[in-house]
Amino acid sequence: MTAVAELMDYAEVLERFDPVLGLEVHVELNTKTKMFCGCVNEFGGEPNTKTCPTCLGLPGSLPVVNGKAVEGAIRIGLALNCEIAEWCRFARKNYFYPDMPKNFQTSQYDEPIAFDGYLDVTLDDGEVVRVAIERAHMEEDTGKSLHVGGATGRIHGAEHSLLDYNRAGVPLIEIVTKPITGTGARAPEVARAYVTALRDLLCAIGVSDVRMDQGSMRCDANVSLMAKDAEEFGTRTETKNVNSLRSVERAVRYEMTRQAAILADGGSIRQETRHFQEADGTTAAGRAKETAEDYRYFPEPDLVPIAPSREWVEQLRATLPEMPWERRKRIQEEWKLSDEALRDLLNVGAVDLVAATVEAGATPDEARGWWVNTLAQEANSREMELGELPITPAQVAEVIGLVTSGELTNKLAKEVLQGVLAGEGAPREVVEERGLKVVSDDSALLAAVDEALAAQPDVADKIRGGKVAAAGAIVGAVMKATKGQADAKRVRELIIERVGS
């Protein structure tokens, strides 16, 4: 059993140390084929069915660069305000691991295609932090290992391992930040906000589906601590393949408290990779971290250099869509949102969902109300991102339309949403299946009103005496009798008519 690591209280960490972050985000491109061969690039499928001699690294096979992947890399670089190299080339990154069929990874080393950029990141309270980008370079993804047996699902303790090379050779862009300093207590939040902003940007320019749950976007979080009086960075650890926004924040915070406890006790930090444990928010030691020299980089002899013309680069720049932050500013002005209201949308990840709901026919206020309140609560209870809920903006707009038309009350609408979320079908199908439509037939409502008035004659007398507010008790009785499916406004009108006649 692994010993439980000692942790330092977070407040004490900040009193004694300054955190330094470095975030490496790997993004799989959504090209039709792999980076250096013609195999289909898509998630899933039977193991080892999307492979060929090239992506398996068989002798005599030769790679050919995917032009669409180069285009995607340039567009990413431009969106991140990077310089685009006029000339760059691939390199071989040599290391042995079973999911690397060639025993080397075709990557870029000292000549990345994009470099020296930045991304402005907005925190939860509206503060903007500029994160400097060191580079964005092209490479290929590895295969996938499945370690069978053992308690952790990792290679240590496993009985045997299985390998699936369907993912080997998928186009990958690695985006590396420069050291992120000066964030203090907000370091974990900055890490999450950066990956969130990067995901939004990549989605907006359409180069990846950025599905962290499927591994098409994953973050390696480098964390080190330096004493308050130190001039050099501390030794870093690299928590590999963190696959959710919440986990990025948790991993950084945990490493800060773990490293601080070791340093305060006179120990030293081992430069290593670590694995994030979703169940308890901890990290576990992996392998000693290699240096660049260990990888024995050398130029890839089977690929020609990449030399994008300035004309092509500018043509690609012209294809960039409205950036997420520009779109948010426009939406704020069009919807007349306060800064606080916009932050509420951002904090729950609802901007695009609300916008799509508006495009489907709802008003901005209606769409905001349902996503930020009802559906955000549902997402929290399920411990998932708002956009992961099994409901579409078009379906939410349909429910809103049913409320607007008077076919549903807000209470009934919530039941319909629950039905959609439960997989019972489209909103109207749920209405019919559950029998949730508002009772608007006056004859049926009058029968319920008469029954309620007869049961509460004292309330009827109060209404006749001018205490119209007392009608609320009768409305409540009618709503109960109709299981909440009556039009409350129409019920009140009928009560007043009945008592006055």
pLDDT higher than threshold 50 for residue 362: yes
Number of H helices, E strands in the chain: 17, 14
pLDDT score of 157: 74
Partnered with residue 277 across adjacent β-strands are 282
pLDDT higher than threshold 90 for residue 481: no
Q: Are strands 272-277 and 237-242 parallel, antiparallel or unpaired?
A: parallel
Supply 231's token pair: 């001039």
pLDDT higher than threshold 80 for residue 309: yes
pLDDT higher than threshold 80 for residue 465: no
CA angle, 142 then 145 then 147, to 5°: 165
pLDDT tens-place string over residues 47-80: 999 999 999 999 999 999 999 999 999 999 999 9
Domain boundaries defined on the chain: 10-293, 322-434, 442-500
pLDDT classification of 333: cutoffs 50, 70, 90: very high
Report the length, in residues, of the chain. Answer: 501
Contact 28, 217 (CB under 8 A): yes
Supply 160's token pair: 């045997």
Supply 381's token pair: 């209870």
pLDDT score of 441: 54
pLDDT classification of 486: cutoffs 50, 70, 90: low
Q: At 399, give phi and psi (nearest 5°).
A: -60, -45
Question: In 295-326, which positions are buried (b, 16+ CB within 10 angstroms) versus exposed (e)?
Answer: bebeebeebeebebeeeebeebeeeeeeebbe
Q: Calculate what percentage of the chain has a pLDDT beyond 70.
A: 89
How far is residue 131's CA from residue 128's CA, in Å, rounded to a whole number? 10
pLDDT tens-place string over residues 208-255: 999 998 889 999 999 999 999 898 999 999 999 898 999 999 999 999
DSSP string, 174-200: EEEEPPB-S-GGGHHHHHHHHHHHHHH
How far CA 278 is from CA of 285, 294, 364, 445, in Å, comes to 14, 30, 36, 53
Contact 85, 112 (CB under 8 A): yes
pLDDT higher than threshold 80 for residue 36: yes
Q: What residues have CB less than 8 Å from 318, skipping those under 6 apart?
A: none
Q: How far is CA 232 from the centre of its chain?
A: 34
pLDDT classification of 295: cutoffs 50, 70, 90: confident
Q: What residues have CB less than 8 Å from 347, skipping those under 6 apart?
A: 124
Contact 29, 202 (CB under 8 A): no
pLDDT tens-place string over residues 148-188: 877 666 777 778 889 999 999 999 999 999 999 999 999 99
Q: At 299, give phi and psi (nearest 5°).
A: -55, 135
pLDDT higher than threshold 50 for residue 274: yes
pLDDT classification of 489: cutoffs 50, 70, 90: low
Partnered with residue 148 across adjacent β-strands are 160
pLDDT higher than threshold 90 for residue 113: yes
How far CA 411 is from CA of 144, 362, 394, in Å, comes to 47, 18, 20
pLDDT tens-place string over residues 378-427: 999 988 888 889 999 999 999 999 888 877 878 888 988 999 999 999 99
242 Rama sector, left if φ>0, alpha if ψ -120 to 50, beta otherwise: beta
How far is residue 455's CA from residue 267's CA, in Å, rounded to a whole number? 78
Side chain identity at residue 231, one-letter code: E
Mean pLDDT, the chain, integer:
88
**Mean pLDDT along residues 28-54:** 95
Of 113, 132, 453, the closest CA to residue 313 belongs to 113
pLDDT score of 427: 92
pLDDT score of 140: 96
pLDDT score of 1: 41
**Mean pLDDT along residues 479-484:** 67
Side chain identity at residue 155, one-letter code: I
pLDDT score of 268: 94
Domain 442-500 has CATH 2.60.120: no
Q: Tell me the pTM.
A: 0.78
501 against 446, higher pLDDT: 446
Partnered with residue 133 across adjacent β-strands are 117, 177
